[in-house]
A and B are shown apart, each in its own frame.
Chain A
Amino acid sequence: MERTSVKIVVAGGFGTGKTTLVGSVSEIAPLTTEEVLTEASVGVDDTTGVEGKTHTTVALDFGRITISPDVVLYLFGTPGQDRFWFIWDELAQGAVGAIVLVDTRRLESSFPAVDYFERRGVPFVAAVNRFFGECAYTEDEIRSALELAPEVPLVWCDARDRGSSKLALIALVRHALGRLSPARA
C-alpha cells in the first residue's frame, strides 16, 4: 500500500515546551495517547509511597503534518518523565531524528535527551527555546554544558511560533540528510 509514515521525536526536559512545539506546527490539535505500564516496567525507586499501585499511565502527546498524499509526518513528544526509556526506544526506532528542546534556565534538564540520542546514533538538533526570555548563555556555553558534538546543529526557536518551529524541523531533516551516505550518482 502506498502510504508511508515518518516520525520525528520532540524531546527535552520537563517543561521545555515539547507539546507547545508539536502544537504550533501540527495540522491537528495535539492528541494524547496513553501507554499503560505494569509495575515491572517502572523503576523500583519510583513506586515508593504508592505501594499497591499495579500500573502507571504514561501520556504521549503527538501531532501530524501531511507531507503529500503518500507521506505523513508524526511529531511525538517524549513523556515528561525521563525514566520511561523503553517508550523513547519505541519513539526513536525508525525516526528521522529528534529535536531536543533546551530551556536555558535549566540546561541540565535536557542533558539526558542529548545523551540518549547521542548514544543511539539518532540524528538530532538542539533547539534553544527562547520562550523563556533573554538567554544568559552564548551558543558555545550551551554546547559545552550539553556536551554537544560539533556536528550537532544548534538552533534558536520560539516553540509557540509556527514558522520558528518549522525551521527547527527543517534543520533536523537537513541534518539527517547530511548524515546519510552520499547519494549514488
Chain B
Amino acid sequence: MPFDVWDGEDESAGGRFVPLYVLVNGRTSPRDSRLDLATQVVALPVDTRLLDAEYLRIVDQCGNWISVAEIGAYLQIPLTIAKVMVDVLVEQGYLGVGTPAQSKIVDRHILDSVLAGLERL
C-alpha cells in the first residue's frame, strides 16, 4: 500500500492542514437560507471563551455590523465557508443578524432612502 504511507512532507507545504469541511462540522449549506453575502451580522455580548479559534476570528471581526462578504474578504475564507460558519455562530447566539439582503426586491421606503443617500454623496 505505498500510497498510504505518509511521506512526512506536509510540514513543508505550509498553510492550513484542517480540511475546511471539518471547520463547519460537515455542513455544506446554511441552515438559514436568508443569509446572503450582503447580510449584516454583529457580535452579541456573550462569553466567547469556549469558541474555537476559527470561529473566534469571525466574532472578533463583528464588533460593528459587517457583511458576510466582508468577513470572507478580511479573513480570506471562501464565501461558502464564511456563510456556513456565520450561520453556526448565529444559531449558537454569538452573532445577531440584520434584515437579510433580501429574498425579494427591496421596498419603496428603502429605495427612497438609498436614493437620498446617493444624492448626498
* Per-position 1/0 for A4-47, Cβ under 8 A of B: 11110000000000000000010000011111100000000000
Cβ distance A58 to chain B, nearest Cβ, rounded Å: 9
Are the CB atoms of B110 and A71 closer together than 8 Å? yes
* Contact pick for A1, options B98, B104, B105, CB 8 Å: B98
Q: Which residues of B are interface residues toward A (Cβ below 8 A)? A: 36-40, 42, 65, 67, 69-70, 72-74, 76, 78-82, 96-108, 110-119, 121
The residue that A96 contacts in the complex, of B36, B69, B78, B114, with Cβ under 8 A, is: B114
Interchain CA distance A67-B118 in the complex, whole Å:
7
Mask of A112-126 contacts with B, CB within 8 angstroms, 1/0: 000000000000000
Interface pair A25/B108, CB less than 8 Å apart = no
Contact B111 A176 (CB under 8 A): yes
Leading 9 A-B pairs by shortest Cβ distance: A94-B102, A67-B117, A3-B98, A31-B73, A33-B72, A5-B101, A4-B99, A5-B38, A33-B73
Kindly report which residue of chain A lies nearest to residue B112, judged by CB atoms.
A177
Residues of A within 8 A of B102 (CB): 6, 93-94
Residues of A within 8 A of B74 (CB): 31
In the complex the two chains form, is A180's CB within 8 Å of B119's CB?
A: no
User: Which residues of chain A from 154 to 185 have any CB-CB distance to chain B below 8 Å in the complex?
Assistant: 162, 166, 169-170, 173-174, 176-177, 180, 183
Distance in angstroms from A40 CB to nearest chain B CB is 13
Q: In the complex, which residue of chain A has the Cβ closest to the Cβ of B71?
A: A33
11 A-B pairs besides A176-B105, A183-B108 with CB distance below 8 A are A3-B98, A6-B106, A60-B79, A67-B114, A67-B116, A71-B117, A91-B37, A93-B102, A177-B108, A180-B107, A180-B108
**Docked pose: A65 CA to B67 CA in angstroms:** 12
Closest residue of chain B to A71 (Cβ to Cβ) is: B113
Q: Which of B73, B98, B118 contacts A166 (CB 8 A)?
A: B118
A31 touches B98 (CB 8 A): no
* Pairwise interchain contact A31-B69, C-beta atoms closer than 8 A: yes
